[in-house]
Chain A
């Protein structure tokens, strides 16, 4: 019996016919599992972690308010003081009500009462500005609020401070 058959001179061709299928599968996975980036975040945004978190399932009901110091690339222009970001621009707390109104008008009539505002604040922010935002939200009658946090294990009892 002859074991070593004569090989063809060139290297053997790999069949790549299924490669598009594999890549399409990956593509669909990412299309389903991810969400579109809607705004460019201009403030530092490392949210604190907490264990008692709830997931926000209905993305379309949620409006985001970003709070934090401007990112280092923008600090020359805007300084290092804590800023409020609504959509794509730095705003003051007086604009919160108008922002809530426009966001609410984007929703269907049935969903307007279910609107949720999510505050994405940096962990180094002071409570003063958060309180101001909360008061504005109360005035705008947007009473469902979540503090965006990362998940951590339930038995972690905070930091020792």
Chain B
């Protein structure tokens, strides 16, 4: 009888790569890479009876943004392009009572957004984006001048202070049905 060798026999690992490739291809096919990102908003709670509290606010503190079914923008009765909305909103927020048609102070400023049921989703997102961008830029400028740091580098208490100074109040009215969907 032949003597068994002391060493353990070698396992043939030649097919290991094939197995791993198979697994790799399986994961490549069944998974997706895209990380999800989006514009976050908070909806108001549902009320059975819609309240008429628009009258509580002074007209100068409300920036009225209307989008019609042809995706045209009317801001405070003025026809604007989407790329002009950001500057208009910034001017409105940081007015501090100077212009008597614009807001008294940033924490009283409200943006009222109303769209038509036939407004395209893309335009709506563009408008939302410009409004958010206006608030972000205003906060950015304020935190740079006050703390000398960018808004996202502030510590939590400072961040809260800036947020309270410039609260993002975007109210959405029920859309109208004028255009054809």
Interfacial residues, chain A to chain B (CB-CB below 8 A):
16-17, 19-20, 23-24, 26-27, 30-31, 33-37, 48, 50-56, 59, 62, 67, 116, 118, 121-131, 134-135, 137-139, 141-151, 154, 157-161
Contact = CB atoms under 8 A, between A and B. Distances in A.
Contacts of A130: 121, 124
B175 A128 contact: yes
Interface of B: 13-14, 16-17, 19-21, 23-24, 27-28, 30-33, 35-46, 71, 81-83, 85-86, 115-126, 128-130, 132-133, 136, 174-175, 177, 181
B20 A145 contact: no
B118 A127 contact: yes
A152 B23 CA distance: 34
A56 B119 CA distance: 27
A33 B175 contact: no
A56 B36 contact: yes
Nearest to B175: A131
Contacts, number: 174
Nearest to A151: B37
B117 A146 contact: no
B39 A35 contact: no
A127 B120 contact: yes
B33 A33 contact: yes
Nearest to A152: B129
Chain B CB count within 10 A is highest, among A24, A36, A129, A142, for: A24
18 contacts: A19-B17, A23-B20, A51-B129, A51-B133, A52-B132, A54-B40, A126-B121, A127-B118, A128-B118, A130-B124, A139-B46, A143-B43, A145-B40, A147-B38, A147-B41, A149-B38, A149-B129, A160-B82
Nearest to B47: A138
B27 A159 contact: no
A146 B129 contact: no
A50 B24 contact: no
Nearest to B125: A48
Given A34-B31, A34-B33, A37-B32, A118 B38 contact: yes
